[in-house]
Structure formats: structure tokens, C-alpha cells
Structure 1
Amino acid sequence: MIKTPFSALTAQAVLRRAAAGLVLLVLAAAPGAADIRSDTLQALREHYAKVPTMKGEFLQFGPKGEQSSGTFAIKRPGKVRFDYEAPSPIEVVSNGLAVMVVNNKLKTFDSYPLKNTPLKLLLDDKLNISDKAILDVSVSDDLTTVVLGDKQIFGDSIITLQFESETFELRQWTIKDAQGKETSVSVFNVENNVDLSNRLFQINKASYKRKN
């Protein structure tokens, strides 16, 4: 079964995989650690504000090691498209309000409110992350890692975002579910600030049957 970039391609589990039992990580109380977190998040916010659009390729690994790939495009706020390479018939499209998981072979789609999905964090026009949602921030020479959890956005799921430390370019995100299973998506060959038509983030609903 093909997994989507934000969770498993099954009903509500597509968008709200639980992570009960996972110990929440927090930053050390030392002032230096707090300063690192504050400076890092501010730099990420500034970078986000400068990159409203991007496109590139992605490579996805499921919890059983299954691999899939394809292309993606993002237009903030709220719009994204993932096209999986053949033989997968799957597309994932957000028009700014709803995330639609499309099966081009069966001519069906599922639709979910964007505000209830982890993709919302990636697609906001600004990196608006509340302090209570930040479970951990770590910085190495190569990667900056931010661990997020917010019940109001995506239930008990945990999402880990990884950025290049020097440029703050997004490189990978991972979602962990209630059973400890992880789905990771890495992006590469990324082009920033490209011209993307809003039509790219729409589907012809008249040609598909809605499943939910």
C-alpha cells in the first residue's frame, strides 16, 4: 500500500496517527539551550517568509521499509501537490482548505480539512509554532531538527522536521504513529521562489467519486 507524505493512506489515519506512549522531549533548562532554541526558531521563521513557493523531488520510506518517490510543489499559504511516480496512481493535493488524496486508477478521492493535518505546519505562510507545540530543538553542524506535537492540529502524532543548519532549507520530515511506526519524506533538487499556478493545486472533482 502506498503511503502519503503525511501518514498512512487509510481513512482518518491518513491525517491523525496517534503517538500515545511516546515520551515528550523538552529542551534543557539552561539559559544557553533556551537561547539556541529562540535564535534557531527565529532564523527558521525568517527563512520561511522569504520562500513562499518551492518545487522538487521527494523520496519516501514507509514503516516497513517500502519506498516510493515522485515530485512535489508547495505554494504557501496552504497549497501543496505530491505526484507519485508510476506505477502508483496516487496524488495528494491541497487547495488551501482541504487535503485531497486522489486515486487516478479508481477515479476516487478522500478529502480532509487542512487545519487538522500535519501538513498545516509546512504550509502556513509563516512558521507559526507555539511554544507548547515545540517538544525539542537540536542543532548540529549539518542539521537543525525541530520536534513538534500539538493535539489541536494533528492529535497525538509527533512530527520531526529537519533543516540544513547553514541555509535552513527543509530536507526531511518524519511522522511517528501510535505503534511506533515511522514514515519519512526527504526532499531534494529543490527550487525556491518559482512561479506556480493555482490551477496546479486543484482537481476536477466532477471526474472523481468522493469516498468520505
Structure 2
Amino acid sequence: MTTDRLARTSTFAPTRRHLLGLGLALAGTAALNLAPGLRLLRPAEAAAPDVAQKIADHFSAVKTMTGEFVQFGPKGEQTGGKFFLERPGKIRFNYDGASDFRVISDGQSVVILNKKLRTSDLYPLSKTPLKLLLDDRIDLSGGKVTGIKQEDDLTTIQLADKQVFGNSKITMMFDPKTYELRQWTITDAQGKDTTVMIFNTREGVNFAADTFKIDYTANRELNAKKSNR
């Protein structure tokens, strides 16, 4: 993601669809579109290429990470904030802005919180592309790698798993020398992309005990009030 693009894109308050695109693109019926420039892998290449598995193993070894992120919606809309990651299964995105958006995974569920509007949407982590990012070990077997592109400054790996998130897909971009994750794109079942770029990252950090806590009682109460309106 270039500095020019960052400068051109206006800041926006993310909608529920944009938040879903961050890593929660759910199952649908549309066909997958291969990202431009990626080499589609044939069935005979079902085993993950060596470079892809090496990168996945390196990223899997990162047990905790924090940093900043910028998110681009399907029309180039931009927002950002800070993220916190802990394997297995835990991540938190704190969005900038007055709306006070949060996306939190506690290892079992993912909640999308809008404190300003007092909404709380809950999903099973196992049915989202975030599961592939947050597993204790990123497993690329079983034909999950559907495309790969190697360049001097970037290695791009596309993953899909119909059993996990239907016709959505995740495309991850790594530094080919350090194997560090630079960004990922979630393509939903309608072919719409949401890209997340991460930067200023730190690894091996410690988090407060409640960083990834989901308040299930508050979730039930908010949704009960919503259903009674």
C-alpha cells in the first residue's frame, strides 16, 4: 500500500460490512476471483509450496504481536487504529474515532462492538478467515493454498477453505526476506475486497489479562434489547 494511496484516501467511520471485511467475511455463494498476478495452483500442486510453508511456519512462531493498522474498504475508504495479537486465536482491533469500534477474538468467538450505537455482533471464530491467521500453527495442507506470487519485494499467498468460510478467501503478503506479514486482503463471497496493512509492529509483548475478553452477558443483553424494539 503506497504512501500516495494513503494520502488520497479519506478517513471514514467503518460500517458493519467494513468490519466484517477485516477478517470476518462469512460464507456465501459467489465464485472466488483470483487476485491479479497470482499463479493459480493446479490440483496436482495441492501440497503447499515450500516457500509458502516456510513463511507460514515463521508467522506461526510469532506468539504475540502489537502494532498499528490501516484498513481500506472496497471503495478505498480508510480507517485505522491499533491491534493486539496472541496465539492461539486471540486478536483485538481498536479503531480510531468517536464511534469507538472494537473487534475482539477470545479464541472461541469474535465480537464486533460499536459502543456508540450499543451494538454487539458475535460470530464463531472457526467460521472466519481470522482462524487461519490465528491458529497455533498455520496449516497449509489440504489444498488451502490456491495461488502464490513471488516478487523481489513481496511474496503473496492466497488461501481458501470452503469448510471454514465458504466462498470467501484471504490473500496475505509477506516480506520475502524476513517473512514478516505486511498486509492481508479479505475477499467476501460477493468479490468485494477489504485490505488491512500493519506497521510499527512489536513481537514478544505481554498483554493485560482482559485484553481479549468478550463480555458475553453484555452481548446477550444488548441483543435482547434490540430484538424487543
TM class by shorter chain equals 0.7 to 0.9
Unaligned runs of 5+ in 1: none
Q: CA deviation at 1:28?
A: 6.4
TM-score (norm 1): 0.85
Q: Structure 1's 200 and 41: CA in aligned 2 closer, same or farther, altered over 3 A? A: same
Q: 1:155 to 1:198 in 2, by over 3 A?
A: farther
For residues 90 and 100 of structure 1, the distance between their equivalents in structure 2, rounded to whole angstroms, comes to 11
1:89: Cα distance to partner? 2.1
Give me the whole-angstrom Cα distance separating, in 1, the residues matched to 2:168 and 2:43: 24
- What does the per-residue CA deviation read over 1:43-78, in whole Å, with 9 as the maximum and x for residues that have no partner? 123312431010000000101121100000000000
Gaps of 5+ in 2: 1-12, 225-229
User: Identity of counterpart residues, as a percentage?
Assistant: 44
How far is 1:148 from its partner?
A: 0.9
Whether 2:114 is the aligned partner of 1:103: answer yes
Q: Is the 8 A contact 2:145 2:158 kept in 1?
A: yes
| Residue identity opposite 1:125 in structure 2 | D
1:26 aligns with 2:40: yes
Q: Deviations over 1:144-189 (max 9, x none)?
A: 1111111111110021011111111111111122333211000000
Q: Quick check: 1:184 aligned with 2:195?
A: yes
Number of residues of Structure 1 aligned to a counterpart in Structure 2: 204
Does the 8 Å contact 2:24/2:129 carry over to 1?
no
Q: What SS does the aligned partner of 2:59 have?
A: helix
CA gap 1:59/1:17 in 2 versus in 1, 3 angstroms:
farther
Kindly report the root-mean-square deviation, in angstroms, between the aligned alpha carbons of the 2 structures: 2.7
**Distance in 2 between the 1:115 and 1:100 partners?**
13
Tell me the residue number matched to 1:146.
Answer: 157
Q: 1:29 to 1:120 in 2, by over 3 A?
A: closer
Which string of whole-angstrom CA distances, capped at 9 and with x for unpartnered residues, describes residues 5-50 of structure 1? xx6447xx953154723355623699xxx6xx63212312331243
CA distance in 2, matches of 1:117, 1:179: 16
Q: Is the 8 A contact 2:53 2:140 kept in 1?
A: no
Give the counterpart of 2:85 among 74, 80, 90.
74
The answer (yes or no) to whether the contact 1:174–1:182 under 8 Å persists in 2 is yes
Contact 1:110/1:210, CA 8 A, preserved across alignment = no
1:205 positional shift: 4.0
Would you say 1:211 and 2:223 are equivalent positions? yes
Tell which deviates more after alignment, 145-154 or 100-109: 100-109
* Kept in 2: contact 1:8–1:14 (CA 8 A): no
1:199 counterpart residue number:
210
